[in-house]
């Protein structure tokens, strides 16, 4: 595994540092105002993506849809995202989605179990299939026939499409975060001890 950068390779946009009207794109400021840390700064992921405002806008369309308007139950979606983040060694992703996961019913025990072998926790058959899917996509970019059968027994075709897109999107996000060296936001824990 490639060593992860210990500092940000791309400096996040800092709206607080320069408040002059001619220097801040109002549309960009509006987008960033919806994803703030407790101290009022944009989340680091969005601050870095804001270096390419047009891309940030489109990134937020898909990411926002998957998080807020998708078909999948939030808990199951977060199991996939957390496992993808763990597999990619994307500490930022894992830390942010630990917070979201807890809000939607993922327990601390489950979060910890997502960092270990799947058989180290008594997952339901459905949850185990989601974890297997995440592992297989992380390892080989293809879901096995056995795992697919388990998923197809529970999820509609539209939900299966969304599961694959969620996993793929958050693999992309994890690679971006790792490569850009996006640092944890203040007060956000990364991987569990």
Q: Which residue ranges form the domains of the chain, and what is each CATH number? A: 26-67 (no CATH), 72-180 (1.20.1290.10)
Rounded distance between C-alpha atoms, residue 43 and residue 4, angstroms? 19
Residue 71 burial (10 A CB sphere; 0-12, 13-18, 19+): middle
Q: Which residue has the tokens 């996000």?
A: 173
CA atoms within 13 A on the CB side of 84: 28
Burial pattern 88-101, b for ≥16 Cβ within 10 A else e, equals bebbbbbbbbbeeb
Rounded distance between C-alpha atoms, residue 146 and residue 173, angstroms? 27
| Distinct helix (H) and strand (E) counts, the chain | 9, 0
Q: How far is CA 108 from CA 18, 161, 191, in A?
A: 39, 28, 12
Per-residue pLDDT of the chain (193 residues; tens, 9 = 90+): 789 999 999 999 876 665 555 556 778 878 887 777 777 778 999 999 999 999 999 999 999 999 999 999 999 999 999 999 999 999 999 999 999 999 999 999 999 999 999 999 999 999 999 999 999 999 999 999 999 999 999 999 999 999 999 999 999 999 999 999 999 999 999 999 7
pTM confidence score: 0.93
Q: Which residue has the tokens 């808990």?
A: 75
Phi, psi of 85 (to 5 degrees): -60, -40
Q: Which residue has the tokens 């996006």?
A: 182
Q: Which pLDDT score is estimated for 23?
A: 57
CA 93 to chain centre: 5
CA atoms within 13 A on the CB side of 121: 18
User: Crossing angle of helices 157-180/145-152, nearest 10°?
Assistant: 120
């Amino acid at each position: 595994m490639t060593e992860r950068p210990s500092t940000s390779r791309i400096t996040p946009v800092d709206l607080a540092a320069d408040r002059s009207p001619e220097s801040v794109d109002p549309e960009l400021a509006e987008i960033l105002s919806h994803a703030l840390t407790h101290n009022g700064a944009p989340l680091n992921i969005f601050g870095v993506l804001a270096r390419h405002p047009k891309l940030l806008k489109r990134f937020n369309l898909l990411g926002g849809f998957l998080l807020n308007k998708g078909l999948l139950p939030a808990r199951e979606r977060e199991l996939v995202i957390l496992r993808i983040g763990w597999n990619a060694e994307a500490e930022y992703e894992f830390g942010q989605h630990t917070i979201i996961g807890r809000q939607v019913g993922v327990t601390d025990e489950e979060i910890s179990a997502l960092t270990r072998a799947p058989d180290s926790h008594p997952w339901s058959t459905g949850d185990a299939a989601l974890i297997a899917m995440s592992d297989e996509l992380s390892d080989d970019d293809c879901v096995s026939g056995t795992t697919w059968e388990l998923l197809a027994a529970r999820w509609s075709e539209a939900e299966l499409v969304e599961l694959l897109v969620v996993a793929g999107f958050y693999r992309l996000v994890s690679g971006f975060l790792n490569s850009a060296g996006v640092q944890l936001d203040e007060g956000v824990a990364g991987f569990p001890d």
